[in-house]
Amino acid sequence: MRILQLGLLVALASGVAAILIYIIGLSNPYDRFRVTNDDLSALKALQSGFKKCVDANGLGLQAQMSQDYCHVTIQYPSETVPKWKDPKTGELEGLSFDFNLCEAVATWEQVRNSSTILTKEFIDSLPNGWEEYAWRRINKGVQLGNCRNRTLCMEKLTSVLPETPPFVPRQFGRCAVIGNSGDLLKTNFGEEIDGYDAVVRENGAPIQNYTKYVGRKSTFRLLNRGSAKALDKVVELDETKKEVLIIKTTIHDIMNKMIREIPIRNQVYLMLGASFGSSAKGTGLKALEFALSICDTVDMYGFTVDPGYKEWTRYFSESRQGHTPLHGRAYYQMMECLGLVKIHSPMRANLRREIKWLPNQSIINAARISSEKILRRFGAGTSNPFGACSIIKKRVKGKSPRIPNLREDAVKHQRHVKGATMYPLERNIGNGILCMVPNMN
């Protein structure tokens, strides 16, 4: 008898529990993060193509998949001899690197539609933008007491702070990003590089005396702190003086003085970048990020170390070392196999080289939506272009960006986002973005 009663009780309890779980499931606000079988198939399709792509195009690199739908490992051949040592730990770089494919797909697709230039409308629209953000982009900004005197802060930023974005997604067609690796001297890429619609260079990379290898054309230059402080030297590298300079760190009084007094007539901006965590750093990656935010396609030169490399050098100076060359090369291989960039190097010198096993747009789209759910991103799983906007602000009337003669693809994209600008938000949980929409009234 006892046992029967107990059995009944257990049955009742589990029934109630089941109903509870059902109700909680239905009313769960996170239900839109629910990953369906279709989502998992989409990620599986991406993963299997990805492995084939890395194996086919990676010059010996191999991708290993795990049970986890997002996790991939890119492995160098065991005979590779790492040369770079971490100056802090003294350890040699490893031969295998783990990446999160879901995070890469979701974040890079967002970069393709965002503005990566810091603007005044962005600071004005951030909650407490001046008090909490602006001073971080000014060297010794801490001393400005959270921009208590906003006029002073504005003065310091004025030479690098446009009201609205000076560039929009897909404004340029084919772009080339030129790294500074010594392997550029092995191939005469100059003429080919000059054939692109826009060319992005980095730091103090010279053009004169190297045009056979790196071309003449230069549209943008990404600058780290060191190069930005030597702005007067940097502007001499491009004879046309039309290069647009993009600083990835902060504005210095020294720079302001140079811009005013020398004077420097090039446009100078601060970059507003997405955050990729520790998986990817450095000027090279920032240059790619910038290019991907304004170009249809991005080709890269002078980044890679090909098998058998002796030492990572710069093309314009002996013995200067880069950092984490193997990690970088593996990350770029991931980007290539996600269809974001095309890598050119002495061993892949054919401009028209076909990248095998590239995912098509429908695979990328499906994988992005699934990844957003798995990563619990803001607005995950919607096809609404404003789904990821965690902050939406209306533009001040009459202050929309005006960029003449936009390419058809850029106009199409503007129509898709209804004239809005998307800005990445730093350290933002869920990777929500800030959206500035036009004021129609």
Ligand X SMILES: *[C@@H]1O[C@H](CO)[C@@H](O)[C@H](O)[C@H]1NC(C)=O
Reference 93, options 83, 103, 101; nearest CA is: 83
Distances (CA, A) of 176 to 268, 301, 353: 20, 7, 15
- Closer to ligand X by Cβ: residue 307 or 385: 385
Q: Contact between 208 and ligand X (CB under 6 A)?
A: yes
- Closer to ligand X by Cβ: residue 251 or 305: 251
Give the DSSP letter of residue 89: T
Q: Contact between 209 and ligand X (CB under 6 A)?
A: yes
Q: Contact between 392 and ligand X (CB under 6 A)?
A: no
Q: Contact between 258 and ligand X (CB under 6 A)?
A: no
Task: State the Cα–Cα distance between residues 143 and 160, nearest whole angstrom.
Answer: 20
Q: Contact between 362 and ligand X (CB under 6 A)?
A: yes
Interface pattern 273-302 for ligand X (x via CB under 6 A): ------------------------------
Interface pattern 104-143 for ligand X (x via CB under 6 A): -----xx-xx------------------------------
* CB of residue 432 to ligand X, shortest distance in Å: 12
* CB of residue 288 to ligand X, shortest distance in Å: 17
Reference 101, options 141, 72, 59; nearest CA is: 72
CB-count exposure of residue 314 (10 Å: 0-12, 13-18, 19+): buried
Number of neighbours of residue 320 by Cβ within 10 angstroms: 12
Binding residue for ligand X (CB under 6 A) from 200, 363, 420, 425? 363
- Closer to ligand X by Cβ: residue 76 or 108: 108
Dihedral (CA of 106, 302, 322, 227) sign: negative
Q: Contact between 149 and ligand X (CB under 6 A)?
A: yes
Task: State the Cα–Cα distance between residues 137 and 133, nearest whole angstrom.
Answer: 7
Q: Contact between 333 and ligand X (CB under 6 A)?
A: no
Q: Are 113 and 169 in contact (CB under 8 A)?
A: yes
Task: State the Cα–Cα distance between residues 167 and 392, nearest whole angstrom.
Answer: 20
Q: Give residues 405-434 in contact with ligand X (rule: CB under 6 A).
A: 413, 416
Here the tokens at position 80 are 């590779």
The residues that touch ligand X, with contacts defined as CB under 6 A, are: 45, 109-110, 112-113, 149, 151-152, 155, 206, 208-209, 360, 362-363, 385, 413, 416
